[in-house]
Amino acid sequence: MTTRKGLTLVLAGVLSLGALAAPHRFASLDPKPQSDDPEGWWMKRFREKQQQACKTGGDVVFIGDSIVHGWEGRGRVQWERYFAGAPYNALNLGFGADRTEHVLWRLENGGLDGFKAKVVVLMIGTNNTGHHPFSECPPSDTIAGVKAIVDLIREKQPQARIILHPIFPRGEGPSDENRKRNETVNREIVRIADGRHVIWCDFNDQLLNADGTLSREVMPDLLHPGALGYEVWANALLPVLKDALASAPEEPVAGRFAAHPRLMPVEPGTSAACRPATRFDAVGSRGPWWWLKRLVEKRSQIAASGGEFDLVMFGDSITHFWEYDHFSCGLEVYRKLCARYKVLNIGYGGDTTANLLWRGENGELDGYKAKCVMLMIGTNNRTSPEDTAEGIRRIIDLIARKQPQAKVILSPIFPRGRPDDKRRAENEKVNAIIKGFADGDRVTWLDFNARFLNQDGTFKPDMMVKDLLHPYKGGYEVWLEAMLPRLEEICGK
């Protein structure tokens, strides 16, 4: 199997953690054929499409699953009318029932070789979310799969622009579970579009009635378009396609956005601390899309875990840096911990309570059972102490729902800055509230903040790096020493 670059690699270079976790790709990123039967329809279609591509190429290539495949069925009239001949000379690479991993296999094994396309139209993902239970394929996995396909198309066809569609609506109404999972994916993959290389084309609102229901006239089985659905698709896509072909390579193309923006459903008046949020396209010292890359790494570790962890560490950069050897941070101490316990570190630099809520809802607390979850979060919040504390309470409730068997070790936010630092004072207000969330049984309060400080409130030597926020190795040693007795009680080791 060809090793994928970029997203589909476990990021051994991002963290010095290679000895602790073997690379493993989860389903949506693991390229494989839908069937390896050489006489089955899938392999026959694959060979036929390769031959067609080598013979006639395709200025415009459609890639996807049965919904794209259906241009040759219910959408045949529209295909012949709008796309088959000049000026588009379109090639249909839609395969019924394909998931992201099947598309990756096709593209890695010659599906886009032997010709040069001008535009690639991509819509994929509904079979990832619709054919697996949530725990096996949460939205995060489908998002990663779509991003990997986009990256591979750009690698195989660097001159081509990509028109990226959201996953189409499915199910009768907005409360359909598969539709909700798809909408979670759609809210994030729009970030892949930069308006130059990848152009967003969203007309899902035109497929729906005003109340959000899906008409059987548009999609007879509430999943696959009928002739009317393909007519709507063609008329929405054609203006974007024409602009993509007519503009210069680096010239921005406006794309198409649904009339109603996709907003994460939240209770009215909910604080930012409690609104699940992502940072998929975050750019920083770790490079572009590092947040998604770390999510891929962690989902891979979960897939390889056998379904059990002793300890899950949930937090921000202070937790993340257990895995760092930069600035003499926590890696050496982390190795001691991992020698005794099976550990999953899902700390992400810069995260807030809102980011933990999204990650916990969408994959990082699924697919395994933990004995213990260690939680420390809040220093990156820019919300009132009361709102930050409420975000932490909701994370504790989320852990109870996703990991009901797990015990929680809750730590206060660590001291930061100088003794008169405003943020330190605000964090202490948070800590005074969240201490009350511990019941001494399911949730244990573990406060060792005083061990970082001198009597005047300044940091002891070898405890915090120069930013007065992240621990040195000595700080992680204190943390480990404080945590081990409770871990021994919970895990029996």
Cβ-contact 88, 60 below 8 angstroms: yes
The one-letter amino acid code at 3 reads T
**Which residue's structure tokens are 């770390």?**
294
**3 state DSSP class of 21:** coil
Q: Please count the other Cβ atoms lying within 10 Å of the Cβ belonging to residue 221.
A: 9
Cβ-contact 337, 480 below 8 angstroms: yes
In 171-276, DSSP assigns E strands to: 198-200
Name 289's Cβ contacts closer than 8 Å, sequence gap at least 6: 7, 147, 280, 281, 282, 283
Strand partners, 288: 283
Alpha-carbon distance 448 to 286, whole Å? Answer: 30
Pairing between β-strand 283-284 and β-strand 287-288 as defined by DSSP bridges: antiparallel
Cβ-contact 51, 108 below 8 angstroms: no
Q: Please count the other Cβ atoms lying within 10 Å of the Cβ belonging to residue 443.
A: 18
Classify residue 24 as left (phi > 0), alpha (psi -120 to 50) or beta.
beta
**3 state DSSP class of 168:** coil
Name 288's Cβ contacts closer than 8 Å, sequence gap at least 6: 281
The tokens for 12 are 């051994």
**3 state DSSP class of 318:** helix
Pairing between β-strand 198-200 and β-strand 161-164 as defined by DSSP bridges: parallel
Pairing between β-strand 91-94 and β-strand 308-315 as defined by DSSP bridges: unpaired
Q: Residue 187 — φ and ψ, nearest 5°? A: -65, -25
**3 state DSSP class of 352:** coil
Alpha-carbon distance 121 to 241, whole Å? Answer: 9
Active-site residues, by number, are 66, 221, 224
Beta strands across the sheet bearing 369-376: 343-347, 308-315, 369-376, 407-410, 443-445
* DSSP code, position 124: -
The tokens for 352 are 């807030």
Task: Count CA atoms within 13 Å of residue 322 on its CB side.
Answer: 27
* DSSP code, position 161: E
